[in-house]
Amino acid sequence: MSRYNGEQVLVVPRSAFEQVGAFNGVRLNAQEYLAAFFSNGVAHYMDRDAAEQNPAFKQIIAYAIFCHNGKVLAYARTAKGGETRLHDKWSLGIGGHINPIDGLADNPDTYLAGVEREIREEIAFSGTASQQIYAIINDDTNEVGSVHLGIVHRFELDSDEVCPLEKKLANLKFCTLDELAGPLYDKLETWSAICVDALKNE
């Protein structure tokens, strides 16, 4: 029986990632990668159970970070989350996989619909928000990162009224970059640590 109950997730071949330019860490030119992935049928859906075991493919993960007055939203991942390898880690990322419910695999609007759906499922916030596609993250140094590719969306909120909608998000709060780069840094999941480093270097 499939661990993920037959879930289909959006993937791109690692070769497509390498063609644009493979790296470990963060790149701020995410649009270049997205343009390559969502053309000529490169992106497609794949059984998640198979994708989790096959580093020849990268699962596309929407990874939204939320900022307000210089602080960044963070939370602790609980055992309620589906990815056991990330339990008890602190994270900045709201989001997840893109699924067939979001639309056709090779349509960029499908990806954006998936981003919006994932955010609506996980948090609710008041006021208005501006958004930019901030970066792309890759980390092939561990088994989670080797089969995922993160697209970082940066939201600037005009209110700090944010509440979690899922039990997997514990201790949701806005933190200063000094807090995230200091006491919490060693507790951050890898992608969040990479985001903190990028934000600190602005």
- H, E, C per residue of the chain: CCCCCCCEEEEEEHHHHHHHHCCCEEECCHHHHHHHHCCCCCCEEEEHHHHCCCCCEEEEEEEEEEEECCEEEEEEECCCCCCHHHCCCEECCEEEECCHHHCCCCCHHHHHHHHHHHHHHHEEECCCEEEEEEEEEECCCCCCHHHEEEEEEEEEECCCCEEECCCCEEEEEEEEHHHHHCCCHHHECHHHHHHHHHHHCC
What mean pLDDT comes out for the span 167-176? 92
Judge whether residue 202 has pLDDT over 90. no
Q: With 80 as the cut, is the pLDDT of residue 2 above it?
A: no
Dist CA 8 CA 145 (whole Å): 19
For residue 44, the Cα-to-chain-centroid distance in whole angstroms is 18
* pTM of the predicted protein model: 0.90
First to last CA, the chain: 46
- Structure tokens belonging to residue 27: 């790149």
Lowest mean pLDDT among 96-100, 106-110, 174-178: 106-110
- Rounded CA-CA distance 59/71 in Å is 29
The model's pLDDT over 23-78, given as tens digits with 9 standing for 90+, comes to 999 999 899 999 999 988 899 999 999 999 999 999 999 999 999 999 999 999 87
